[in-house]
Amino acid sequence: MLRLGRIAATRSIIWHPRPLYNNQLSRQSPWNHQSQRTLTGARTAFSLVRGATALGASVAAASTAAWYSVESWGKEQGKWASDKWERFKDWADHLEFSSKKDKQQGKDEDNHEQDDQPQSPDPNTGAATALAAAASTMLRDHDEPAPLIENKQQQQQSVPTPTTRDAELMVLTRRLIEVRNLLKEMSSNNIALKLPSIVVIGSQSSGKSSVLEAIVGHSFLPKGANMVTRRPIELTLINTPDSRDEYGEFPQLGMGKIHDFSQVQKILTDLNLAVSDAECVSSNPIELRVYSPNVPDLTLIDLPGFIQIHNRNQPPILKEKIAELCESYIAEPNIILAVCAADVDLANSEALRASRKVDPGGRRTIGVITKLDLIDANAGARLLSHNDYPLSLGYVGVVCKPNASMFSNALVSARSQMDTMIRHEQEFFATRPEYIRSGADTGTATLKSRLRRVLEDHMARSQTAIVDAVQTELDEVRYQFKVQYNDIRITPESYVAETVDGLKQRFKEFTKSFGKPQVRDQVRTMLQQRIMDICADLYWVDTRFPMFPRTCSTDPAWLNRVDAASAALTKSGIGRASVQLVYDRIMEAMTKITSADAFANHPGARGQILDHARSLLKSRMHVAADSVENTIKPLKFEVEASAQEWSDAVKRAVVMVEDSYADAERQLREIQSNVGRRRLRMAVRQLQKQEVKNGIVDLVSIAPPTVMSSNIVSAAPIIPPSSSTPASTAVTSITSGESIPNTLAERAKAALSLHRKMTLLKSRSAALKSSLCSSENRSCCPEIILSVIAEKLVSSAVSFISVELLTEFFFDLPRAVDDNLYYGLSKDAMTAFANENPGVKKHLELMQRRRVLEDVMDRLRGLGSGSSSGKTSGR
C-alpha cells in the first residue's frame, strides 16, 4: 500500500502537470483549481489502487495540492520555484523507480490489500504520509499563501509564465550567440566587443570531458592516457527544435555536416595532436558547432586540464603555460565552470584556485562536483551545500561515468553509452535521499538548466554594453573608411578583374611596340654581329687583308673566301636563332609587364602567366623556325643584288664597321681609365719587348714599340696624372725589368688587341667608302656582300616570325589569362589573390569589419525592438 500510494502520488503529478487554462476551469478561482486538482488526484489514486486506504488517495491529493501551490506561487517567485520544481520531479521519478524495482514485493502487497478491509495506517504508511508532506513543504521556504488572481483580466495582466519568459530568453540567447560568432570574425582584441561564454576549467582526470559530453549527449572529445587536449575547443551548441538531425561542423575546416560523432572525435584528436610534444599547448582555438534538438543554446570553451607535475617528455614550463592559457580566458567577463572531483579536497582544487584569482567573489563561477559516487552521500551533500567555499551561482553535483556492474548485459547493449550514463545518474540520486533532504542541485539536467539560465542572464545584462561598444566601433570604422578610402567599395572579384585588365592593357601596349619593324631591327642587329665575327675569323687574321691587293677580284683564293663567308652566314641556323631571339625579347617584356603595378604583389599569378606565355611561344617556335629555314635555302647557293641593294648594303656596312670601331674605342678608354695612362704605356712597352724577344711578330708588332705604345695611349684622351707624382715612381716595378703583374698584363694585352681591331676597322671603313668596293669587286669587300645576304635573310625571317609566332601569341595570351586568372578562380581563390596585396587586404578587412558591425548593429536593434514590444504587450 505504501508503494502504491507513492505511485499514485507520482502519477497524479505527472499526468496533471498544470491547470487547464484553455477550458471552462480557467474561469474559476485558483482555489477552485486546487479543489478540482485534489479531486482529480484522489480519483486517479482510487482508480489505480482500487481497494487501498483513503490515506493513499490523500497522499495523491496532497501531492497535487503541493504542485498547484508551486505553480501559483512560482509565478511570483520565478526561477527559485522552477528549480524547486525540478528537484520535486526528480523525487517523483525516484518514487516511481522504487516501485518498479520492488515490483514483485508490490504485487504481494496489492493482493493482500484487495482481500482485506482498510485498517489504521501502520508506521510505514505514516512514513509515506510524512514524506509526501515533506515534499510539499520542501517546495516553499515560507508558509505564505499563494497570491489570488481575482479575475481573468488580472490574470492576463500578471507577470508572464516562466515558460514564456524562458522562451523569450532562449531566443535572446540564440541571437546573441549569433552576434558573438559574427564579432569573432573580426578577430578584435577589444574586450567590450566580446559576449560572455562558459569557460570550462579543471584538473586532468577531474571528469571535465565527461561533463561536456553529458551536456551534448554524445561522446566526441579526445580520449587518451596522455595529455590529449592541447588546444582550446570553442564549442557552440545550437538547439534545432524543428529537426531531428544531430551533427557537428568545423567552420575553420569547411568539411560540412558530420553526423558521425566518432568522426568528430577523430578530427578533434588529430587537430590536438598536431601540436608538437615540445610545444604541448597552443592558444590557437578549434571551433566546433553542434546542432541538435537535445542541446541548449550554449557557448562552451574547453581548456586543457591543470597538471601538478610534468613528465619527462613534456617541457618544464607546461604547468605555467596551461595556467596562463586558462587565465587568458577566465580573466575576460566569461562564466567560469569550475569542475572539481568529489574525491579531492576542494581546498586543493586548481579550478577553484584559478577562478578565485579573477573572480574573488564567485559571482560568475559555477562549481561542478563530479564523481559523487566515490564518496558517502552525506559527504557529497555537504560538498554541494557550498558553505566552506561559497559561490554565488552555487554547485551542481553530477555522476557522469556509470558503473557497468549495476546493469545487465542486455540493458547495456540495448542503450547507447550516453543513455546508460544518464539513467545511471538519475537512479543514483533517486536512491539517495540525503541529496533531496539537503536541497542540493544534482544531475546533468539541472546543470544544463543552470548553465542556460546563467548564460541568458549574463548575455541579457551585456546587451546594453555591447550595443554601445558596437556603435562606438562602427562610428570609428566608418570614419577610417571615409578618410582612407573615400568610401570607395571594392570586392575581391572587382580587384581581380581590375588587375587582369591592367595586365592585358600593358600587354596590348607591348604588342603595338613590338611589331615587324622592331623584330626586323632585332634580327638585323644579330646578323650584323655575325658578319663581324665571320670577317674576324676569315679575313682579319691575315696580315695582307688591310692592303687588299688589286688581284683580289680575280684571285681564286679571294673568290673562294667570299663563298666561304656567305655559306658561314646562310648555314648558321638563322631560322632557329631568329626565332629564339624573338622568344627571348618577348619573355623579357612579359617579365617586366607582370612585375609592374599590382602584379608585383602576386608572385604566384605572375609565375602562372609567364608559364602560359612560355607554353604558347614554345608551341609555335618549331613551326616558325622551320618556315624560316625553308625560305632562305636559295640564299645558301646564290645571291643576286641590284645596284640599289648594293648601294644600301654599302651604307649599312660602313655604319656597321664604324659602330664596331666606336665600341672598341669605348672599351679602350675604360682600360686607360682603370689602369692609368703612364702605367698602361709602360706595361704595353714591356709586353711588346717580350713579344719581340720571343719572336712574336704580328700586325700590332709591325710598328716600333715606342710608337705603338704611344698610339695606344693617345688613341683616347685621358686625364693627365698629377705633376706631384713622378713617372718613375708609378712604373718602378715595370722599368726595373721585373715581370708584369698578371692583372696588369691582361689589361695590356686587351689594350693591344683593341688597338689592332681599331686599326683594322679604320682601314676597312676607308676601303668601303672607296671606289674599290663596287659591285664588280665583290670579293674585295666581304662586309658589303654579307650585308646584302643578311638583309634578304632578315626580310624572310621577319615575315614568317610575324605570321607563325607573333600573331598567334598576341591573340592567345589574353584569352589564356582570362580563363586561368579570372573565370577559372573560385570565390575563395579570388579572396586569397586580393589578400596578397597588403593595401587591398587592409581595404577589404576594413570593409568586412564595417559590414559585420553594421550586421551586428541591425541584429542588436532588432533585439531591442523585440524586447520593448514584449514589455509593452506584457503591460
Gap between the Cα atoms of 782 and 532, Å rounded: 10
Q: What is the 3-state secondary structure (H, E, C) of 216-285?
A: HCCCCCCCCCCCCCCCCEEEEEEECCCCCCCEEECCCCCCCCECCHHHHHHHHHHHHHCCCCCCCCCCCC
- Considering only residues 628 and 59, tell me which one the structure prediction assigns the higher pLDDT: 628
Q: Cell digits for 130?
A: 510524512
Least confident of 140-154, 517-531, 750-764, 766-780: 140-154
Is the predicted pLDDT of residue 542 greater than 80, yes or no?
no
**Range with the largest mean pLDDT of 160-169, 183-192, 547-556, 663-672:** 663-672
Residue 407 has a pLDDT of 45
Higher per-residue pLDDT: 396 or 730 = 396
* pLDDT bucket at 83, cuts 50 / 70 / 90: low
β-pairing, 335-341 with 233-239? unpaired
Average pLDDT over residues 552-560: 77
pLDDT of residue 297: 86
Average pLDDT for residues 326-353, to the nearest whole number? 91
Q: What is the pLDDT of residues 251-285, one digit of tens each?
A: 888 888 999 999 999 999 999 988 887 788 999 99
- Name 89's Cβ contacts closer than 8 Å, sequence gap at least 6: 13
Sheet holding 365-370, edge to edge: 247-249, 286-292, 233-239, 298-302, 198-202, 335-341, 365-370, 395-397
| Local structure of residue 331 (DSSP, 8 states) | T
Q: Does the pLDDT at position 826 exceed 80?
A: yes
Q: Is the pLDDT of residue 104 over 90?
A: no
b/e burial code for range 465-489 (CB count within 10 A of at least 16 → b): ebbebbeebbeebeeebeeeeeeee
**Chain-wide mean pLDDT for the chain?**
74
pLDDT in the model for residue 864 = 60
The model's confidence at residue 202, banded by pLDDT at 50, 70 and 90, is very high
C-alpha cell at 169: 530568453
For residue 594, give Cα distances in angstroms to 497, 504, 507, 754: 15, 10, 9, 41
- Give yes or no for a contact between 616 and 816, defined as CB atoms under 8 angstroms apart: yes
Q: Are 545 and 782 in contact (CB under 8 A)?
A: no
| Segments making up each domain of the chain, as ranges | 2-159, 203-334, 343-442, 516-641+781-809, 646-774
Mean pLDDT lowest among 200-209, 401-410, 773-782 = 401-410
Q: Where does the pLDDT of residue 165 fall: very low under 50, low under 70, confident under 90, or very high at 90 and above?
A: low
With a pLDDT cut of 90, the percent of the chain lying above it is 30
Residues belonging to the chain? 875
Please tell me the predicted confidence (pLDDT) of residue 545: 58
Q: State yes or no: pLDDT of 97 exceeds 60.
A: no
- pLDDT grade, residue 538 (50/70/90)? confident
| pLDDT computed for residue 21 by the predictor | 33
Contact indicator for 682, 744 with CB cutoff of 8 Å: no
Q: Helix, strand, coil shares of the chain as percentages rounded to 5?
A: 65, 5, 30
d(CA 216, CA 821): 45
Q: What is the DSSP letter of 43?
A: H
Per-residue pLDDT at 160 exceeds 90: no
Q: What does the alpha-carbon distance between residue 639 and residue 632 come to, in Å, rounded to a whole number?
A: 11
According to CATH, the superfamily of the domain at 203-334 is P-loop containing nucleotide triphosphate hydrolases (3.40.50.300)
Please, which pLDDT band fits residue 329 given cuts at 50, 70 and 90?
very high
Beta partners for residue 292, in sequence order: 239
Tell me if domain 203-334 and domain 343-442 are identical in fold.
yes
pLDDT band at 833 (very low <50, low <70, confident <90, very high): very high
Given a contact cutoff of 8 angstroms between Cβ atoms, the answer to whether 67 and 142 are in contact is: no
Per-residue DSSP letter, 363: T
Identify the CA nearest to 48 among candidates 116, 106, 120, 130.
Answer: 106
pLDDT score of 563? 83
> Cell digits for 599?
602584379
Sorting pLDDT into bands at 50, 70 and 90, what band is 807?
Answer: very high
pLDDT at 343 over 60: yes
- Is pLDDT above 60 for 641? yes
pLDDT at site 338: 95
In this prediction, residue 134 carries a pLDDT of 40
- 409: exposed, middle or buried (Cβ count in 10 Å: 0-12, 13-18, 19+): exposed
Cβ atoms within 10 Å, residue 291? 17
Greater model confidence, 738 or 237? 237
Q: Give whole-number Cα distances, 554 to 112, 166, 173, 437, 558, in Å.
A: 152, 119, 109, 136, 8
Rounded CA-CA distance 867/173 in Å is 12
- DSSP symbols for 175-196: HHHHHHHHHHTTT---GGG---
Domain at 343-442: CATH code: 3.40.50.300
Residue 659 confidence class, pLDDT cut points 50, 70, 90: very high
Q: Is the pLDDT of residue 98 over 60?
A: no
- Least confident range from 213-222, 236-245, 652-661, 717-726: namely 717-726
| Three-state SS at 766 | helix
Q: Residue 649 above 70 pLDDT?
A: yes
Which residues have a Cβ under 8 Å from the Cβ of 565 and sit 6 or more positions away? 534, 535, 538, 539, 782, 785, 786
State the angle between helix axes of 556-570 and 516-538 in degrees (0 to 180), rounded to the nearest 10. 140
Which grid cell is 496? 581581380
Least confident of 356-360, 401-405, 505-509, 861-865: 401-405
Cα(19)–Cα(37) distance, integer angstroms: 8
Exposed / middle / buried, residue 388 (Cβ in 10 Å: 0-12, 13-18, 19+): exposed
* Tens of pLDDT, residues 416-428: 677 788 888 888 9
Specify the pTM. 0.58
CA of residue 661 relative to chain centroid, distance: 62
For residues 505-534, average pLDDT: 92
Would you call 10 helix, strand, or coil by DSSP?
A: helix
Mean pLDDT of 171-198: 71
Q: Residue 203 pairs with which residues in a beta bridge?
A: 306
On whether the CB atoms of residues 790 and 569 are closer than 8 A, the answer is yes
Tell me, what DSSP letter sits at residue 391? Answer: -
Range name among 504-508, 630-634, 797-801 with the lowest pLDDT average: 630-634
**Those residues with Cβ within 8 angstroms of residue 62's Cβ, 6 or more apart along the chain or in another chain:** 9, 129, 132, 133, 136
**pLDDT band with cut points at 50, 70 and 90 for residue 843:** very high
**Each residue's pLDDT tens digit, 668-720:** 999 988 888 888 888 888 887 777 777 654 444 333 333 334 444 444 433 33
